[in-house]
Amino acid sequence: MNVLTSTSKFVLFNSVMFLLISCMSCSDKEKKIEQAKHKKKIHYHEKQTLTKNFKGKYVPVLCYHAIREINKDDSANKKTYSVTPSNFATQIKALADNGYISITPEKLRDFYTKQKPLPEKPIVITFDDGRKEQYSIGATTLEKHHFKGVFFIMTVTIGKENYMNKNEIKSLSDKGHSIGCHTWDHNKVTGYKKDDWEKQLSKPKHQLENITHKPVTSFAYPYGVWNRTAADSIKNNGFTTAFIVYGKPDASVPLYTIKRIVVKNSWSTKDFLNNLTKGM
């Protein structure tokens, strides 16, 4: 009788343990299923949802490169992407005199996606490549008129001759200017292979974030050239806006094809101001 009782207890104990383990296993499975439901999936060709404001309000975005004296023997390319210090100062003063207020890429994004208000005459002032004079002349001139700029840095040149160093980049960020990514070495994004995305997007982004101690969420395409694969990769690397210089914004990825105006040194003040409204 005692043997039977012991056997019964043993069977009963095993049965209870089996049920407990089964319940715990089911609970874990249910948790995993629930987590999977809430986990955000990446849709590489997902169309962005924007407010009607994206088409309803035009915000000019300026693009500067070199701020330097122009010599008559300079190549056509150098002349195209250069503005003299005096003309730059005149252009920025004209913006201030005409009531423009600078905004960041984040504020532009929030306006288009969340209908957050903007100043009556907003403008985004961007600089490509991270040249030294953009710090010494560009930012200094902007600050005289209470403007903030967006500086797109290619990280391969940081600390090299004629380019900003880490302290200067950090100083710009500390003063309220925006720091964006312009790849590692300025190669066109349309030619990237598998490993290039980390080298050209992910690592430079993290490097700039380590310098500024702030998120880096804006990107400028080298040469303004882009394709849909690049736009998707830029989005999936944590960037929320990307800027082009040629062509029109793509309706399926408008936040990753924001058009910029390459400012010309040859423009008069009237030409400069007129070009700000061409997209309206």
57-83: pLDDT as tens digits: 789 999 999 999 999 999 999 999 999
Q: pLDDT at residue 27 above 80?
A: no
Beta-bridge partner residues of 261: 62
Model confidence at 55, in pLDDT bands (50, 70, 90)? low
pLDDT digits (tens, 9 = 90+) for 181-228: 999 999 999 999 989 999 999 999 999 999 999 999 999 999 999 999
Q: pLDDT at residue 98 above 80?
A: yes
pTM of the full structure: 0.81
Beta-bridge partner residues of 179: 151
Q: What is the pLDDT of residue 86?
A: 98
Alpha-helical runs (H) found in 125-227: 132-133, 140-144, 166-174, 196-197, 203-212
Q: pLDDT at residue 272 above 80?
A: yes
Q: pLDDT at residue 266 above 70?
A: yes
Q: pLDDT at residue 30 above 80?
A: no
Closest CA to 235 of 88, 79, 47, 25: 47
Q: pLDDT at residue 116 above 50?
A: yes
- Cα diameter, the chain: 113
Query: What is the overall mean pLDDT for the chain?
Result: 86
Q: pLDDT at residue 4 above 70?
A: no
